[in-house]
């Protein structure tokens, strides 16, 4: 009888742990087809919501940046080859950037010409790796230098976009 109670207790604890891991995202059952579809679908429009950390230079590029956490939206229109995001130096829905696709990674870029941090900003870019949700945004500076402003992870929006 004791063995049966110990076994039953073990099964209950194991079930609770598996359910907790599933809910928190530590393990996933099924759903891989939806991820592959999202990562490999290059038609129509997508929208994602991202949890990111923004690093803003305060007093020039030689100083440590000020960092903050934020949520932002990003999207791409594969049929129009454009993309956008809201956030630091946004590539907005009004002034979209040009979309390039490399497997599951999409890159959106737009030329720019403004001055920040004592240097000329020549371009704005972001990438979204649809296979793992990784988001990166950077600015091109003169002399072929880059400054990464935003990094984080995105999840596909539940809102359907036609």
54 neighbors 66 (Cβ within 8 angstroms): no
1-24 pLDDT per residue, tens: 788 887 778 778 878 877 776 766
Longest Cα separation, the chain = 78
C-alpha closest to that of 100 among 44, 145, 42:
42
Domain spanning 43-156, CATH architecture: Beta Barrel (2.40)
Going by pLDDT thresholds of 50, 70 and 90, the confidence category of residue 162 is: very low
132-157 pLDDT per residue, tens: 999 999 988 888 888 888 999 998 76
**Domain locations in the chain?**
1-30, 43-156
- Is the model's pLDDT at 95 over the cut of 80? no
Token pair for 84 = 């956008």
Three-class secondary structure assignment of the chain: CHHHHHHHHHHHHHHHHHHHHHHHCCCCCCCHHHHHHHHHCCCCEEEEEEEEEEEECCCCCCCCCEEEEEEEEEEEECCCCEEEECCCCCECCCCCEEEEEECCEEEEEEEEEEEECCEEEEEEEEEEECCCCEEEEEEEEHHHEEEEEEEEEEEECCCCCC
């Amino acid at each position: 009888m004791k063995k049966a109670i110990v076994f039953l207790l073990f099964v209950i604890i194991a079930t609770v742990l598996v359910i907790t891991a599933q809910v928190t995202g530590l393990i996933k059952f099924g759903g891989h087809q939806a991820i592959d579809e999202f990562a490999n679908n290059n038609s129509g429009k997508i929208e994602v919501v991202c949890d990111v950390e923004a690093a803003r230079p305060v007093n020039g590029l030689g100083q440590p940046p000020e960092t903050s956490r934020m949520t932002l939206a990003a999207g791409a229109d594969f049929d129009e080859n454009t993309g956008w995001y809201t956030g630091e130096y946004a590539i907005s829905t009004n002034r979209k950037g040009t979309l390039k696709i490399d497997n599951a990674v999409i890159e959106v870029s737009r030329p720019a010409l403004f001055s920040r941090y004592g240097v000329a900003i020549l371009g704005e870019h972001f990438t979204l790796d649809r296979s793992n949700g990784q988001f990166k945004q950077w600015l091109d500076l003169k002399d072929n230098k880059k400054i990464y402003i935003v990094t984080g992870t995105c999840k596909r929006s539940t809102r359907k976009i036609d």
